[in-house]
Structure 1
Amino acid sequence: MLTPARISLGVVDDHPAFRTGLLTSFSAAGFRQLAAVGSTEELGALRPDVVLCDLEFPADCRQGRDAVEFVASLGCLVIAFSHLATADAQLDSLAAGARGFVPKSEDPQVFCRAVTTVANGGHWIDPALAGRLLRDSGLRPLARQEIGRPETDLLRALAQGDALDEYERRAGLPPGGGSALLTRILDAGRRRRRMVLPSAREYQIIELVGRRGSRSRDAAAELHIGESTLKTHLESIRDKYVQTRTGVLPSITPREAARRWAEELDGHRTDG
């Protein structure tokens, strides 16, 4: 088992005071290989074993799902953290490759335990996140049933506060059996969410209609497509938004869905 002294750790957060405080806590806990930067763009050649990555950054930086996906693409194990992230943003971070999520308000000792767990091949799923995963799997199941009774039983147990090793013993699973179930759960959630991500063209329309507020006629002209084609894309954006956001009514207009999606990409929207 990797001890803190053998784990290299990176922290990506644009608030210097928080970075400094967190690094001080990790140093006191015995972590020796530490690095901290203000954005994913500043990681450069750094390749820590585990990276704690905030989900909120200025608009000119990668943020949310994109930040996590980039750090994971470097070969680092990622734990997302945030103060304002919605339930959907937390699930999106898991879909992007994060192996867990820690609320920014948590005690530093929780961050230390999370990093050690993930560095040793595990996941960090607290009761609140387990409950969100359980609810999400019921709201948006895959076409094929890939989350069965063993997986849902595990999520229910974690949501009630059970430790993973406790559940393994009670369920008669071998050591590591719970982690294997968690991997299946997260893989299924990743596939479920990627099925409803916007296409490249839809991201362009979110930019023009959602962020800039362009009229349909003007947006269609800029993209060199017909207004009827633009309308079809907007309806697709609305449908995907409804499928990937809890509590959003299907009656939301396509233009409003594009606007909300643009706000979320900018990191301004925290409800939902």
Structure 2
Amino acid sequence: MIRILIVDDHLIIREGVAAILENEEDMALIGEAADGMEAVEQFRALRPDVILMDIQMPGLNGLQAIATIMAEAPAAKILVLTTYPGDNQASRALAAGASGYMLKSSLRKDMLEAIRKVAGGATYVDPDVAQDLASHIADRPLGDREIAVLSLVARGQSNKEVAGGLGISEETVKAHLKSAFAKLKVADRTHAVTQAIKRGMIEI
């Protein structure tokens, strides 16, 4: 029997997962959590075989919860469920210790297979996400300052406003943007922001 903990701040997702698991003879939903902190507490209390973990949650987010749980129990098996297909988000989740990464849009089609794979010690990554990961594997990652600059640009701020917000010069902002353009293989601010959001590097 695979004992499962579902972690998601949306009740409708938790109910959907419960409905899918209901008729599976080899699986049992033993607990639910609505945020990262509750996930850690439930993990400690229940010690599930597999945790289904959302990424975007209030308070302690999914990545932080994964890191906390893996620090306490390196053998824990965590399958990320997310609406975000970006390769950067997937890379961060897998680096934090997740055993799998799947999209909520594939819940009905792929979730049971993914759970069984992760429970058996294998890794499961959504095929589309895996393709993105492979295509960007040689890319240089954005630095913290480049991400900070792009995040402010995504909110519609000018170079001058970004400079004031970060306490740096406009020339430094331009240098960070130029570096980000090169890493993202784009030529302007709009495409840089679009690509960074798509790949899960920044949020708006």
Q: TM-score when scaled to structure 1?
A: 0.55
Aligned AA (1:81): L
Superposition deviation, residue 85 in structure 1: 3.1
Question: Match for 1:238: what amino acid?
Answer: F
Q: 1:17 to 1:91 in 2, by over 3 A?
A: closer
| TM-score, normalised via structure 2 length | 0.70
**Rounded Cα–Cα distance in structure 1 between residues aligned with 2:112 and 2:183:** 36
Which residue in the other structure is 2:9 paired with?
Answer: 14
Q: Give the drift of 1:232.
A: 1.0
Residue 51 of structure 1 corresponds to 51
Deviation at 1:208, TM superposition (A): 2.7
Look at both structures and tell me which one has the larger radius of gyration over its CA atoms: 1
Consecutive unaligned residues in structure 1, runs of 5 or more: 142-191, 243-249
Shift of 1:19: 0.9
Change beyond 3 A, Cα 1:204–1:131: closer
Counterpart CA distance in 2 for 1:21 and 1:121 is: 25
Over 3 Å counting, the alpha-carbon distance change for 1:197 and 1:52 in structure 2 is farther
**Offset of 1:216 from its aligned partner?**
1.4
2:101 and 2:67 map into 1 onto residues whose CA distance is 14
> What are the Cα deviations for residues 249-271 of structure 1, in whole angstroms up to 9, with x where unaligned?
x32x14652465368533x6xxx
> Which one has the bigger strand percentage?
2
- SS, match of residue 143 in structure 2: coil
2:118 maps to amino acid: V
* Shift of residue 206, structure 1, vs aligned partner: 2.8
CA contact (8 A) 2:40 2:69 kept: no
Q: Against the structure 1 CA distance between its residues 204 and 132, is the aligned structure 2 distance closer, same or farther, given a 3 Å change threshold? A: closer
Aligned to 2:114: 114
Q: Hey, what's the Cα distance between the residues in 2 that align with 1:214 and 1:126?
A: 35
Q: Deviations over 1:112-142 (max 9, x none)?
A: 33223212321124655554455x2xx543x
Aligned to 1:101: 101
The 5 A counterparts of 1:7-46 are 8-29=3-24, 30-32=26-28, 34-46=30-42
Q: Deviations over 1:190-217 (max 9, x none)?
A: xx6xx50431x33332333322x22212
- State the match for 1:86 in structure 2: 85
2:124 partner SS: coil
Distance 1:229 1:41, change over 3 A: same
Q: Tell me how far 1:79 sits from its aligned partner.
A: 1.4
Q: Which residue of 2 aligns with 1:261?
A: 196
Partner of 1:164: none
Post-superposition shift, 1:27?
4.5
Q: CA contact under 8 A between 1:50 and 1:115: conserved in structure 2?
A: yes
Between the aligned partners of 1:130 and 1:204, the Cα distance in structure 2 is: 26
Match of 2:9, SS state, is coil
- 217, 221, 226: which one aligns with 2:164: 221
Identity of aligned residues (%): 26
1:236 and 2:179 are equivalent in the alignment = yes
Helix, strand or coil at the partner of 2:165: helix
Q: Spell out, residue by residue over 1:129-166, the C-alpha distance to the aligned partner (whole angstroms, 9 max, x if none).
A: 554455x2xx543xxxxxxxxxxxxxxxxxxxxxxxxx
Match of 1:196 among 127, 138, 141: 141
